[in-house]
A and B are shown apart, each in its own frame.
Chain A
């Protein structure tokens, strides 16, 4: 079935090739390759059948090889090349410290990067670990500052902010109250605490259990909505792929 449709597609492309210019030919080649690769990925649904099972794996390996190549290109073009060009130009500088400081930073970074290659030598592992330490703590510092200024403060501010027409619009007031209670109880749900009670180990207070149940209600609702959004997104992409397959196959 696959091969019949493929032969028809190849035939259609060959006919179009003969009648149109090179621009359309390139477009048809792209469409044909897309068509074949889409079918190869969708062959996953058929399971591990002889000759069919390998198609999905081949598509995934093509994808991994290409992604690795694109990542390499982006790392070089987006990071290494601009810095390399900047340090060659004495008049430009990333910082106010001047071009010589830029050169020092660039070559220190390259040296640190090359130190990562010493990982297999046991006696020099501490050098590699020091480079990891620099990368991890700078990443941690960025994460802490980002979480504080980008998430924690804005979300807390939005949660405790009152609507402007508080006195007139009762439903808006109720909604604000529900959001506030929901956020606080859902946060409380993450915090597990028990009261020590003799030999039985510990038990939650009824108030704590009540708060946790309310919090769980909001978390389950949020997770359900996130799940539905993920289903909608993937369904949209699936529809687009089927539409492409039918358009190309027709």
Chain B
């Protein structure tokens, strides 16, 4: 089989599966779409079947691909051990210990509490420093009207969140800001993201965006 026909084969599979999935997800399990006619429930249920089967298929493929990805990570770090990379040994030991803990002490969450939660929350806490530093740099590099507006909004929201009686007027402003202009901007951002997702999805379904060619 030539390269062109093999690429065409992948695109054909993508198109058939994509059309079946989107029609099934949109029309399935929704008897109201077919009116009060007899058998509309059965029709809706049957239309939902291909989408359901495809979703289950993809969920299992993704789970298997996660296992392959983790195996790849481990092999990469085993390879780095030969170069005497101390941190790779730490990663492999951490992985092995967690699996051992899971196998021998099922249902015990103390490892999660002792290691995972403090590291995650400490990393999230470090984000504060990065955000504060980033905000200061933005103001240094972009001292225009939009930069000023950005800083004013940040200050109003931050001051509005303080539980001080003296700042009650700022709290009123902050509440209005969140309910009206921020809500409008956030809705536009959400709509933009949704439209972007639809366009990207449609491109993949129509075979215009063949990122799976490798």
- Which residues in A have some Cβ–Cβ distance to B below 8 Å? 26, 29-30, 33-35, 37-38, 41-42, 44-45, 57-73, 75-76, 79-80, 83, 94-97, 101, 105-106, 108-110, 112-114, 116-117, 119, 125-126, 128-148, 151-152, 155-156, 158-159, 175, 178-184, 186-187, 189-190, 215-235, 237-238, 240-241
User: Would you call B49 and A95 a contact (CB within 8 A)?
Assistant: yes
- Which residues in B have some Cβ–Cβ distance to A below 8 Å? 1, 6-7, 9-11, 13-15, 17-18, 21-22, 25-26, 45, 49, 51-68, 70, 73-74, 87-88, 90-95, 98-99, 102, 110-129, 131-132, 135, 146, 149-154, 157-158, 161, 177-195, 197-198, 200-202, 204-205, 211-214
Distance of A148 Cα from B192 Cα, bound (Å): 12
A151-B191, A217-B149 given; A139·B185 CB < 8 A: no
Which residues on the B side are within 8 Å of A126 (C-beta)? 1, 6-7, 9-10
Distance of A53 Cα from B135 Cα, bound (Å): 26
What is the predominant secondary structure among interface residues of chain A facing chain B?
A: helix
Which residues on the B side are within 8 Å of A237 (C-beta)? 121, 124-125, 128
A114-B64, A221-B177 given; A183·B94 CB < 8 A: no
User: Would you call A221 and B182 a contact (CB within 8 A)?
Assistant: yes
Which residues on the B side are within 8 Å of A180 (C-beta)? 184
User: Would you call A75 and B214 a contact (CB within 8 A)?
Assistant: no
User: Would you call A227 and B115 a contact (CB within 8 A)?
Assistant: no
User: Would you call B153 and A224 a contact (CB within 8 A)?
Assistant: yes
Distance of A69 Cα from B90 Cα, bound (Å): 13
User: Would you call B57 and A147 a contact (CB within 8 A)?
Assistant: no
User: Would you call A129 and B149 a contact (CB within 8 A)?
Assistant: no
User: Would you call A182 and B115 a contact (CB within 8 A)?
Assistant: no
7 A-B Cβ contacts within 8 A? A37-B118, A106-B60, A135-B62, A141-B18, A147-B198, A220-B149, A221-B182
A44-B126, A113-B60, A235-B128 given; A142·B98 CB < 8 A: no
Distance of A196 Cα from B26 Cα, bound (Å): 41
* Inter-chain residue pair count (beta carbon < 8 A): 380
Which residues on the A side are within 8 Å of B124 (C-beta)? 233-234, 237
A30-B113, A222-B182 given; A133·B17 CB < 8 A: yes
User: Would you call B58 and A144 a contact (CB within 8 A)?
Assistant: no
Closest to B108 in A: A26
Which residues on the A side are within 8 Å of B122 (C-beta)? 37-38, 41-42, 59, 241
Which residues on the A side are within 8 Å of B116 (C-beta)? 63, 66-67, 70
Given A129-B213, A138-B55, 10 further pairs, Cβ under 8 A: A37-B118, A41-B123, A41-B126, A68-B95, A113-B60, A126-B6, A143-B198, A145-B22, A189-B188, A225-B153
A68-B95, A140-B205 given; A186·B25 CB < 8 A: no
Which residues on the A side are within 8 Å of B25 (C-beta)? 141-142, 145
Closest to A144 in B: B201
User: Would you call B125 and A234 a contact (CB within 8 A)?
Assistant: yes
A182-B181, A216-B146 given; A34·B13 CB < 8 A: no
